[in-house]
């Protein structure tokens, strides 16, 4: 568990960087663009890279052989580059240089995001992966909270300060990871005598496809609510923008608080069962929200929603990993981000069209429908959540 907390610094730095990027880059784009839709499109660049590049990078890292290990070379290249380009973003001198630095920063982040997450199952026995995922998501959530809390003060002092802080944290995290995580020493997945070719298409068996479909639909629900809730609060409930935004923090806060307990539940009762509880609970929360008229009840429901989302999100990545072999962890990490990125790209505009046609009350109806579809796909998954092809050495670690 000590190494898991240390590994959490990687996710911590990623979460802080993305939170600051999403919070303040729109202000820079607003200086050059009058269309909000175009600004929104520019802010989805990372999802396009995640869609095409991260599965390939994850697959490449599975086949990488070096004295630093399989994943660390990507961190050693990607994290310093990301730190450099995130500092350059507020120093742009034109729209062209702003877009250039944004693209380069997103490319650099894509180099190491999948390998960083894949390090967790690499150094963690299968029986402890849900707990470990809870820990790194807890640290990621804390990073996001710190970013929103301190980022505004730093931005007020100087627009460059939040980005400099993100770069410093990224480099410090890289130092910690490189200093204390030694893949060749800590990995519970023994190195193969001969590197084996792992095909992306070969990993898409029936179980994996059904699970990825479930992940896609529950992220459609989550991303739609996250992106459009403040507008829902303003136009449907008549809340002030600040009150609507503050209400959504109940969801995020209780997700962070329940990240580690949900990992324990997944380890104790099984990943699939815990996810099923989360889906059913979040379906009920989303179904009830349209009937709510008071802010206090709404915030209580959102807090419950954060708990149920933790049950889903903390256990879903280890579940995806468990449906393959130990040597395809990086590839499956990329596939996981492929499904979630597809949802992030498609959900806000699709639910926006529905809202334009039927009104804001339809937001949570659609979100509940997405959870129901996720439930149907997950029920068709016939897998116990234990990793296929666990080696005797890994089994000894688990014991």
pLDDT value of residue 196: 53
pLDDT value of residue 396: 33
What architecture does CATH give domain 2-186?
Up-down Bundle (1.20)
pLDDT value of residue 399: 28
The vertex-77 CA angle with 76 and 81, nearest 5°, equals 115
Q: What number is the average pLDDT over the span 51-75? A: 82
Helix, strand, coil tally for the chain in percent (to 5)? 80, 0, 20
pLDDT value of residue 135: 87
Identical fold for domains 2-186 and 201-388, yes or no, is yes
- Which of 25-39, 84-98, 260-274 has maximum average pLDDT? 84-98
pLDDT value of residue 101: 94
From 110-124, 152-166, 290-304, 306-320, the region with the lowest mean pLDDT = 110-124
pLDDT value of residue 18: 85
Q: How sure is the predictor about 344, in pLDDT bands with cuts at 50, 70 and 90?
A: confident
Check the CA dihedral 346-347-352-358 and report its sign. positive
pLDDT value of residue 193: 41
Is pLDDT at 359 greater than 90 in this prediction? no
Find the helix packing angle between 295-322 and 95-123, rounded to 10°.
60
Tokens of 325: 């072999």
The closest alpha carbon to 298, from 385, 365, 232, belongs to 232
CATH of domain 201-388: 1.20.1250.20
Find the helix packing angle between 161-180 and 129-157, rounded to 10°.
150
User: Phi/psi of residue 152, each to 5°?
Assistant: -65, -40
pLDDT value of residue 199: 59
Residues 194-239 have pLDDT tens digits of: 445 555 565 678 888 999 999 999 999 998 888 777 778 877 888 7
Q: What number is the average pLDDT over the span 118-145? A: 82
pLDDT value of residue 200: 56
Cβ(325)–Cβ(332) under 8 Å?
no
Q: How sure is the predictor about 241, in pLDDT bands with cuts at 50, 70 and 90?
A: low
Q: Mean pLDDT for the chain? A: 83
pLDDT: which is higher, 47 or 7: 7
Three-class SS of residue 92?
A: coil
Q: What number is the average pLDDT over the span 237-261? A: 81
Residues 142 and 162: their CA atoms lie apart, in Å, by 16
Three-class SS of residue 11?
A: helix
Q: What number is the average pLDDT over the span 165-188? A: 87
* Segments in 63-160 forming alpha helices (H): 72-88, 95-123, 129-157
Residues 281 and 278: their CA atoms lie apart, in Å, by 5
pLDDT value of residue 275: 94
Domain layout of the chain by residue ranges: 2-186, 201-388
Three-class SS of residue 73?
A: helix
Cβ(147)–Cβ(19) under 8 Å?
yes
């Amino acid at each position: 568990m000590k190494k898991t907390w240390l590994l959490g610094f990687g996710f911590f730095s990623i979460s802080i960087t993305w939170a600051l990027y999403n919070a303040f880059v729109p202000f820079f784009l607003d200086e050059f663009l009058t269309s909000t839709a175009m600004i929104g499109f520019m802010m989805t660049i990372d999802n396009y890279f995640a869609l095409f590049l991260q599965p390939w990078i994850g697959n490449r890292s599975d086949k990488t052989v070096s004295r630093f290990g399989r994943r660390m070379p990507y961190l050693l290249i990607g994290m310093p580059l990301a730190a450099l380009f995130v500092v350059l973003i507020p120093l742009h001198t034109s729209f062209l240089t702003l877009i250039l630095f944004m693209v380069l920063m997103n490319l650099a982040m894509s180099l190491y995001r999948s390998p960083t997450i894949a390090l967790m199952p690499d150094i963690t026995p299968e029986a402890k992966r849900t707990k470990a995922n809870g820990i790194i998501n807890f640290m990621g959530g804390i990073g996001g909270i710190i970013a929103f809390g301190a980022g505004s003060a730093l931005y007020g002092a100087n627009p460059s300060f939040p980005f400099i802080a993100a770069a410093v944290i990224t480099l410090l995290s890289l130092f910690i990871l490189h200093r204390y995580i030694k893949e060749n020493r800590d990995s519970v997945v023994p190195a193969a005598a001969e590197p084996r070719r792992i095909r992306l298409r070969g990993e898409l068996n029936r179980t994996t496809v059904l699970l990825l479909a479930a992940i896609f639909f529950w992220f459609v629900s989550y991303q739609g609510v996250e992106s459009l809730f403040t507008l829902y609060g303003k136009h449907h409930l008549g809340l002030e923008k600040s009150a609507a935004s503050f209400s959504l923090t109940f969801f995020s806060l209780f997700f962070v608080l329940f990240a580690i307990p949900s990992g324990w539940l997944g380890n104790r009762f099984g990943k699939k069962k815990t996810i099923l509880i989360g889906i059913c609970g979040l379906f009920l929360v989303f179904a009830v929200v349209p009937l709510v008229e008071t802010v206090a009840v709404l915030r209580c429901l959102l807090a419950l929603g954060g708990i149920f989302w933790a049950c889903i999100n903390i256990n879903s990545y280890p579940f995806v990993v468990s449906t393959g072999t130990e040597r395809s962890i990086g590839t499956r990490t990329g596939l996981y981000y492929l499904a979630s990125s597809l949802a992030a790209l498609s959900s806000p505009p699709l639910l926006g069209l529905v809202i334009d046609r039927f009104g804001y009350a339809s937001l949570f109806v659609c979100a509940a429908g997405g959870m129901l579809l996720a439930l149907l796909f997950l029920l068709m998954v016939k897998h116990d959540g234990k990793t296929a092809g666990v080696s005797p050495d890994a089994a000894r670690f688990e014991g």
